Structure 1
């Protein structure tokens, strides 16, 4: 099936977390997922930094001031957050909660710290976390060099950070070794389709089973 079936409110959505060291293929896999199922959307983060030219509130980011951001954190309305270069960034729970109840999945491209915060959040029952490993450190370095996006000193820094990311692989629900992109993507599709059928994702199951019970009692009576 080249295109995922359209979603409906017969199920709840998933918070799909993708994490990996830089160069392991996470961004490519995320793009393939969004092409496979056009209902998938990335979570739009909130930030306290000023908008850059061309950025629109609610599209690239939700732009808020520092007091409002801190209030959301204090009230548990930020699934994950961090401070980067003096500005706060985080994932508001409200839009994600709305998506989940509408049966839409939300993608999160976060590091292990963000993944841990989301997994411990108020929406933890609907989290699906997946870590992408490279087939080898040598291959990881080759991919970073061949994509031609970074200077050698930046690549060296990314390689130094890679093991810190990899060392947290055990905190994820699933771990995939991306040695073959098509095969890894197929596994990713299988995982998501199976997780969509989890009992917690099917709010209609309890009423359905109650209906079966009523029908059984009527048949037996």
Structure 2
């Protein structure tokens, strides 16, 4: 039996990656769908683990060959996408695919897979808190942070199109809510996993 799909989307800095990593450690038989991107790797990131880092030309070639389930130029010159073969590789093993993708990408995957997919929107408690989190990362310039905050304000308007919204104002509560939602969707009963 093919696995189901669990999509986590959020504005940058809302905590979706932290929640996804937590769920991967909780025994739900999940495997992470690694996205492709045309951006440079950050010093903490590894090709084939965090992302498939592709040149702009290679990314374009895969778009032209219809190899993406979804893709978007998120920032000028920087594209992200989900490779179809990555999703099917995981599903064919009977594992559930978990995604950590931008908002538009998440909605596109949900549209493609319908009821086989659960779309979860992780919302920051406020735009100001989001700015503080992005600044606290110390990975980007003030200009990049301002760009991400402006984009986040727009992305927040999409929350109502998702199946579930989790407000991440307390990380432990967000973890518990995500586990509960996942258990219900996968039909695994209790959300207490080890």
What's the TM-score once normalised by structure 1's chain length?
0.67
Determine if contact 2:36/2:81 at 8 Å carries over to the other structure: yes
Note if 1:32 corresponds to 2:26. Answer: no
Determine if contact 2:29/2:95 at 8 Å carries over to the other structure: yes
- For structure 2, the 5+ residue unaligned runs are 189-194
State the Cα distance separating 1:168 from its structure 2 match. 0.7
Match of 2:64 in 1: 70
Match of 1:125 in 2: 115
- Aligned-partner SS, 1:91: strand
- Aligned-partner SS, 1:37: coil
Determine if contact 1:48/1:69 at 8 Å carries over to the other structure: no
Partners of 2:184 and 2:28 lie apart in 1 by 18
State the Cα distance separating 1:108 from its structure 2 match. 1.6
Determine if contact 1:18/1:110 at 8 Å carries over to the other structure: yes
Note if 1:187 corresponds to 2:181. Answer: no
Greater Cα offset, 79-88 or 32-41: 79-88
Match of 1:210 in 2: none
Note if 1:23 corresponds to 2:13. Answer: yes
Determine if contact 2:40/2:53 at 8 Å carries over to the other structure: no
- Root-mean-square deviation over aligned CA pairs: 3.2
Match of 1:165 in 2: 155
1:35-184 equivalences in 2 (<5 Å): 35-37=25-27, 39-46=29-36, 60-61=51-52, 66-67=60-61, 69-71=63-65, 73=66, 78-83=68-73, 89-121=80-112, 123-184=113-174
Q: Which structure is larger by alpha-carbon Rg, 1 or 2?
A: 1
Which one has the bigger strand percentage? 2
- For structure 1, the 5+ residue unaligned runs are 1-8, 199-221
Closer/same/farther in 2, CA of residues 189 and 70 from structure 1, 3 Å limit: same
Closer/same/farther in 2, CA of residues 98 and 20 from structure 1, 3 Å limit: same
State the Cα distance separating 1:130 from its structure 2 match. 0.5
What's the TM-score once normalised by structure 2's chain length?
0.75
Determine if contact 2:31/2:90 at 8 Å carries over to the other structure: no
Match of 1:211 in 2: none
- Aligned-partner SS, 2:25: helix
Q: Residue by residue, what CA displacement relative to the aligned partner does 1:127-164 show, whole Å, maximum 9, x if unpaired?
A: 11100111122322222223333332222222211111
